[in-house]
């Protein structure tokens, strides 16, 4: 039996959450097992014993963080009454909005995942699944909006690819601190694209409401 299977699930999540936090703050290359262990309240030896290697801890932490994003997104969408509101939430939650320390850190994790996917086949397959899941979530939201008469006619799958690529590209320059593209500008560009392609009105009042919901000053 793999040693990882004997680790209680709650403890495993605690270690992976700690690893994801440290990676987001320091980046993958500068993350040490001793830092992860300290954040999780564990010993470095225990972390290595259960996960086998530093590489495996980091790979699983990246996967865990991304899966948590989708779980949180699904929970939020279930509370929103319209496809339009759901799409706004998906876009807003994808932008590093707000003043919380983790606003940018979550995107650092994605960048690290992409870089690692080129060198690790297992991580690469996981990345492909995540991208498919993300595009499907966007496309399904558009389909629901079309069915309800909220959105105009277009190919939901094609739109999802375009929007996902726009979000990814803008997030990179935001994380890198581009002076012309901050998180709010990223959100504006994405929502302008959504409104134009899907044929719905996007007002300043709508923008202000969305930003307020995500604690933007």
pLDDT tens sequence across 45-72: 888 888 888 888 888 887 788 788 788 8
Instruction: Flag whether pLDDT at 29 surpasses 90.
Output: no
Sign, Cα dihedral of 84, 89, 92, 95: negative
At residue 83, the pLDDT reads 96
Confidence of residue 102 (pLDDT cuts 50, 70, 90): low
Instruction: Assess contact for 117 and 123: CB atoms under 8 A.
Output: yes
Instruction: Assess contact for 98 and 120: CB atoms under 8 A.
Output: no
The residue among 154, 136, 134 whose CA lies nearest residue 146 is: 154
pLDDT tens digit string along 193-211? Answer: 999 999 999 999 999 999 9
The domain segmentation of the chain, as residue ranges, is: 1-58, 80-213
Contacts (Cβ under 8 Å, ≥6 apart) of 152:
146, 198, 199, 200
Q: Return the top range by mean pLDDT from 17-21, 52-56, 117-121, 197-201.
A: 197-201
How many H-runs (helices) and E-runs (strands) does the chain carry? 10, 0
pLDDT tens digit string along 66-91? Answer: 788 788 888 889 899 999 999 999 99
Place of tokens 């492909």: 128
At residue 98, the pLDDT reads 67
pLDDT tens digit string along 141-189? Answer: 999 999 999 999 999 999 999 999 999 999 999 988 899 999 999 999 9
Instruction: Flag whether pLDDT at 3 surpasses 60.
Output: no
At residue 110, the pLDDT reads 80
Please tell me the CATH superfamily of domain 1-58, with its number.
Homeodomain-like (1.10.10.60)
Q: What is the CATH architecture of 80-213?
A: Orthogonal Bundle (1.10)
The kind and range of the H/E element at 84 are helix 83-94
User: What percentage of residues in the chain have a pLDDT greater than 90?
Assistant: 45
The kind and range of the H/E element at 40 are helix 33-40
């Amino acid at each position: 039996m793999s040693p990882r299977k004997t680790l209680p699930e709650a403890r495993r999540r605690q270690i992976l959450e700690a690893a994801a936090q440290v990676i987001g703050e320091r980046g993958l290359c500068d993350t040490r097992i001793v830092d992860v262990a300290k954040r999780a309240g564990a010993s470095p030896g225990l972390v290595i014993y259960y996960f086998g290697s530093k590489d495996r801890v980091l790979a699983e932490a990246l996967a865990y963080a991304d899966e948590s994003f989708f779980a949180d997104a699904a929970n939020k969408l279930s509370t929103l009454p319209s496809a339009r509101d759901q799409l706004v939430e998906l876009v807003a939650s994808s932008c590093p909005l707000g003043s919380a320390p983790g606003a940018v850190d979550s995107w650092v994790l994605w960048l690290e995942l992409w870089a690692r996917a080129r060198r690790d086949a297992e991580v690469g397959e996981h990345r492909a699944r995540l991208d498919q899941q993300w595009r499907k979530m966007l496309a399904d939201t558009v389909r629901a909006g079309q069915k309800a008469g909220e959105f105009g006619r277009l190919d939901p799958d094609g739109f999802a690819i375009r929007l996902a690529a726009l979000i990814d590209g803008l997030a990179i320059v935001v994380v890198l601190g581009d002076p012309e593209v901050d998180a709010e500008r990223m959100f504006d560009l994405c929502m302008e694209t959504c409104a134009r392609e899907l044929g719905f009105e996007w007002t300043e009042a709508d923008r202000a409401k969305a930003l307020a919901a995500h604690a933007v000053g």
